[in-house]
Amino acid sequence: MSFKLKLNNRFTEALPADPVPENYRRQVEQACFSWVFPKKTSNPKVLHVSPEMLAELGISEEAANSLEFLKMVSGDSVLPNSKPFAMCYGGHQFGHWAGQLGDGRAINLGEVESQGKHWMLQLKGAGPTPYSRSADGLAVLRSSIREYLCSEAMYHLGVPTTRALSLVLTGDQVLRDVMYDGHPEYEKGAIVCRVSPTFLRFGNYEIFAARNDVETLKTLVDFTIKHHFPELDKPSKETYLKFFETVAKRSLDLVMHWQRVGFVHGVLNTDNMSILGLTIDYGPYGWLEGYDHGWTPNTTDREFKRYRFGAQPSIVHWNLFQLANALYPLVEEAEGFEQILNDFKKQYQQAFHHMMKAKLGLFSEDETTLEVINELENVLHLSETDMTIFFRLLGDVEKSKAQNGLEVVKKAFYAQDEISGNIKNRWEAWFQSYTLLLQKETLSDIERKTKMNKTNPKYVLRNYMAQLAIDAADKEDYGLLDELFTLLKKPYDEQPEYEKWFAKRPDWARHKVGCSMLSCSS
Ligand code: AMP
Ligand code: MG
């Protein structure tokens, strides 16, 4: 059983290619991409495929079992009528311009047209490219499972994201020093086939602005608008500003989703900011367990915590400022950009307020709502309180039972005995004012709970859950990988058969590598 994909190579046909055909590390100028073939794998094996992504691409489950499919997603054969390539981009990493980065271990197979949509298929970990710098272009099973599971889970959560089609074991060994402490070890190599309408990032535009190559910058921006923002007019200064404004809006929407579900990206460099406002590049990301604005999963960021949970909105703003700088040569007037960047801050306040109201099940207007939200942020930080469990259980609070609130959310506290004295008083006072607001709501308790359950997921990919799936997969047991994949398709449903995953992080996972802290090594 084979399958046929309709290819439409818009990116490579319209944009300038690097004329050098050889695959060696270099600076690539005046080009948006370089042609490059994936490396042959020694013993590839498909570990998992996403049925939802298969359906989008019009590939049957039967075809996904074929040798042809295995060859495609392992990079052992390329798509007919398409030539694989790696993109050139730069980026600001941890606040500093880092120069050329590019697809160092991502190879685009081609653009597939299916059911009126365009999907770029990209292999992550398929070997070196001209952009690999000093690294090997490969990926390990550990990080590939994390990307595969999380990107599909995000899709089902309703969070804009790149997708994943498949997870493949390459049969090759890859050397990694996980904690950067001089103890490298061999790990299993793997490849995720990622899918997105485009993988363009802020860094794709920044690189041309940084090199004063306004011509290529304009070609790329015009291409992006034509194919990915077709609702905008023909290129002009106003259209470029409108483009920036649209990207800013989408980025705001994205970061509000992250704050809503408790996702911390971990490496919000400008090369990890999708121009479409999608979550992209799943590296040392993490999910909040205790609600904590200061938390970051990324060990590399331990000291300054630049990319901590509470800072994500202002970091997205900072990244947009860099994109504005990159687009400036096309407009040559700062005012329009400044206005959009200022508006972002105001819109963020409103969006945050709106999102928290939805999490709390408050749908009417009341002047005390903001105070109640602010005080909740404070009390949540008084003792370790599980974000997912707290908000999910909050839906069970009844309007008529103010004194009962603490009892209802009890399971969310990591140390029950800490909920005493002043902390207990603060919580009780908070529940008093919250129930007063609930009493002003027109919805019944059950109607409110139903709405809240669509905003507050019951199941997210907790860091230790992914690690358990990784540990099992490392021993060739892929049962948990499949169980979590299935569980996370319905994150807002009760799914009583999976109740064991509606639980706080176990104690053993508190300080375990991969569970609470992650390095960038992948
Ligand atoms: P990241 O931190 O994953 O966003 O990656 C930053 C840059 O490093 C990107 O240009 C990646 O393509 C590149 N990179 C990361 N890991 C590797 C690797 N193993 N081999 C080659 N390039 C890599
Ligand atoms: Mg990246």
From 87, 96, 100, 131, mutation site for ligand 1 pocket: most ligand atoms within 8 A of C-beta: 131
Q: Which long-range contacts (CB under 8 A, 24 or more apart) does 27-32 make?
A: 27/100, 28/88, 28/100, 28/102, 28/130, 28/131, 29/211, 29/213, 30/213, 30/215, 30/216, 31/88, 31/216, 32/87, 32/88, 32/204, 32/216, 32/219, 32/220
pLDDT, one tens digit per residue, over 473-512 is: 999 999 999 999 999 999 999 999 999 999 999 999 988 8
**166-210 residue pLDDT tens:** 999 999 999 999 888 899 999 999 999 999 999 999 999 999 999
Running DSSP on this structure, what letter comes out for residue 453? T
Q: Which atom of ligand 1 lies closest to the CA of 520?
A: 2
Residues with CB under 5 A from ligand 2 (ion): 272, 281
Cα(36) to centroid of ligand 1, in Å?
16
Q: Which amino acid is at 373?
A: I
Distance 104 CA to ligand 1 centre (A): 5
Q: How far is ligand 2, taken at its centre, from the CA of residue 281, in Å? A: 5
Compute the mean pLDDT over every residue in the chain, rounded to the nearest whole number: 97
Smallest CA separation from ligand 1 atom 18, residue: 137
Question: Residue 436's closest CA among 352, 382, 357, 362?
Answer: 362
Whether ligand 1 lies within 6 angstroms of the CB of 281 is answered as: yes
Of the candidates 251, 236, 264, which has an alpha carbon nearest to the alpha carbon of residue 321?
251
Distance 238 CA to ligand 1 centre (A): 35
The answer, yes or no, to whether any atom of ligand 1 lies below 6 A from the CB of 107, is no
For residue 121 the two structure tokens come to: 């298929």
Q: pLDDT by residue (tens digit) across 278-307?
A: 999 999 999 999 999 999 999 899 999 999
Which ligand is located closest to the Cα atom of residue 201?
2
Q: Which atom of ligand 1 is nearest to the CA of 103?
A: 12
- Degrees, nearest 5: CA angle 104-38-72: 125
| Type of residue found at 471 | D
Q: How far apart are CA 192 and CA 141, in angstroms?
A: 9
What is the rounded distance in angstroms from the CA atom of residue 61 to the CA atom of residue 163? Answer: 17
Give the integer Cα–Cα distance in Å for 392 and 181. 40
Instruction: Render 304-331 in DSSP notation, one character per residue.
Output: T-TT-GGGHHHHHHHHHHHHHHHHHHHH
pLDDT band of 1, cuts 50, 70, 90: low
Q: For residue 413, which of 377, 384, 444 has the smallest C-alpha distance?
A: 384
Q: What is the pLDDT of residues 202-252, one digit of tens each?
A: 999 999 999 999 999 999 999 999 999 999 999 999 999 999 999 999 999
Atom index in ligand 1 nearest the CA of residue 271 equals 4
Q: Which two tokens stand for residue 4?
A: 């046929």
DSSP string, 175-201: EE-TTSSS--EEEEEEEEEEEES---B
Give catalytic residues, as residue numbers: 271
Instruction: Classify residue 109 by its DSSP letter.
Output: E
User: Which residue's C-alpha comes closest to atom 6 of ligand 1?
Assistant: 101
Ligand 1 contact via 283 beta carbon (within 6 Å): yes
The number of the ligand nearest the C-alpha atom of 274 reads: 2
Q: Give the closest ligand to the alpha carbon of residue 522.
A: 1
pLDDT in tens, 111-163: 999 999 999 999 999 999 999 999 999 999 999 999 999 999 999 999 999 99
